[in-house]
Amino acid sequence: MMRNPVVAGQFYPGSPGELSSMIEKMVDEEAGKEEVIGLISPHAGYVYSGMVAGATISRIKFKDTFIIIGPNHTGYGKPFSIMTAGIWKTPLGDIEIDSALAERILALSRYLEEDFEAHRAEHSIEVQLPFLQYFRPEIKLVPIIITHASGDVYREIGRAIAEATKEMNRETVIIASSDMTHYESAKAAREKDTRAIEAILDLDEDELLKRVREMDISMCGYAPAASLISAARELGATEAELVRYQNSGDVSGDYSAVVGYAGIIIRKRNMSPLTRLAKETVEKYIREGRPPELAELTPEMEEQAGVFVSIHKLGELRGCIGTFEPMENNVAEEIITNAISSATRDPRFPQVMPDELKYLDYSVDVLTQPEPVEDKEQLDPKKYGIIVESGWRRGLLLPDLEGVNSVEHQIDICRQKAGIEPDEPVVLYRFEVKRHR
């Protein structure tokens, strides 16, 4: 069975060259790759949702097979549909269905049925594929379309996916294809979507379905998301992270009636010891008013270096404080001091409250020794952070920050931070960081 593309030339370019060029601008090929069990990715036209999909898919380590669960927008076909054989075509080539895995999922589920009609005109799976092909053309696919039902049905389908994956020892990534709130104001969409995202980050499909129902959240892929969460927990998932959230108004400029888009990754806990220390410090200090006691230090913790601790809540910055150069006896003490400051003393934000802790993500940047720069050609905003100095005033900016794509922009931000006028002479320094998540 051949499944031809139905939204090529509409949701994304129909020309292979134009499509690859567009995706190239939306992904980050230098992003750190993580082992993930699954992810939620949007499925609107690329001009609106492509930056969210690109940022999310850029973060994952690729596997042989992608199980993609989409909602049914067309009403065609069986309510719970799986294809177990055939080829999906896109402008970037053909993708073969992983028949053995698909057949096993079908055998294990009481609800899924073999069906092509539900997939024939449905776009929610199709729009994910070119992003995946951009990174790895030879992937295989298991396509599943599900519609409205009870939470028990979604959980059963998720468990069948997980059981088949474990039985066959398959290396897979599960994608739930979903946009968020549809055609409400940007403010209302963010409020509703935040509540749905919180439930997903808690890996709680029952709470997600409850909030969708009670708050009338027009998230089209809540059913795929519920099945994903169920499968992910069976496969050992312990945490999720919002990679990016935006809405169609960020492109169109019309915030009166937007569609929201969220990119979320779901994984087993694999936190760096340095990041774990930052997390434990904030949680202990906010709950008990004191830092944790240091036990045995890893070799990286025993060194001396400048350290920045960044805290994000639901994808938005919640605090970031650090030291240009070492101020403490070791990196561990540097992390503790700066983690507390990030949570309680960043002048841009109120102090972190206990009920926020479960929604926080952390990163720790350990800085190399800054070195003077004689020419701006020696700088690179993706690789190097910079320090701009004029007398006693110094402004620092970390490398590889979203939206900072030029050296000039880096320098301008540092000048503003330090209160250095645009025409004042400055000394430039560069440094690298090791980023721990």
| Strand 172-177 to 65-71 pairing | parallel
What Å distances lie between residue 238 and 61, 270, 390, CA to CA? 18, 9, 47
Partners of 71 in the β-ladder: 146
Q: Are 132 and 143 in contact (CB under 8 A)?
A: no
The pLDDT profile of the chain, 437 residues, written as one tens digit per residue, is 999 999 999 999 999 999 999 999 999 988 889 999 999 999 999 999 999 999 999 999 999 999 999 999 999 999 999 999 999 999 999 999 999 999 999 999 999 999 999 999 999 999 999 999 999 999 999 999 999 999 999 999 999 999 999 999 889 999 999 999 999 999 999 999 999 999 999 999 999 999 999 999 999 999 999 999 999 999 999 999 999 999 999 999 999 999 999 999 999 877 889 999 999 999 999 999 999 999 889 999 999 999 999 999 888 899 999 999 999 999 999 999 999 999 999 999 999 999 999 888 899 999 999 999 999 999 999 999 999 999 999 999 999 888 898 999 999 999 999 999 999 999 999 999 998 98
Cβ-proximal residues to 257 (8 Å cutoff; 6+ apart), any chain: 183, 184, 185
Instruction: Please give the Cα distance from 241 to 268 (Å, whole number).
Output: 11
- What are the backbone angles phi and psi of residue 404, rounded to the nearest 5°? -110, 100
What is residue 31's predicted lDDT score, i.e. its pLDDT? Answer: 87
Residue 132's CB is within 10 A of a number of other CB atoms, namely 22
What Å distances lie between residue 363 and 11, 24, 311, 317, CA to CA? 35, 26, 7, 11
Tokens 């970031």 map to which residue? 320
What is residue 295's predicted lDDT score, i.e. its pLDDT? Answer: 81
What is residue 258's predicted lDDT score, i.e. its pLDDT? Answer: 98
What is residue 299's predicted lDDT score, i.e. its pLDDT? Answer: 92
Cβ-proximal residues to 379 (8 Å cutoff; 6+ apart), any chain: 373, 386, 407, 410, 428, 430
State which amino acid sits at residue 198: E
Give per-residue burial for 88-112: e unless 16+ CB within 10 Å, then b. bbbbbeebebbeebbbbbbebbebb
* Residues in the chain, total: 437
State which amino acid sits at residue 263: G
Cβ-proximal residues to 355 (8 Å cutoff; 6+ apart), any chain: none
In tens, the pLDDT along 243-267 reads 999 999 999 999 999 999 999 999 9
Domains of the chain: 2-267 (3.40.830.10), 271-366 (3.30.700.20), 368-437 (3.30.1490.150)
Q: Are 158 and 228 in contact (CB under 8 A)?
A: yes
Instruction: Please give the Cα distance from 226 to 217 (Å, whole number).
Output: 14
Decide: helix, strand or coil at residue 212.
Answer: helix
In tens, the pLDDT along 29-52 reads 888 899 999 999 999 999 999 999
Q: How far is CA 404 from the centre of its chain?
A: 18
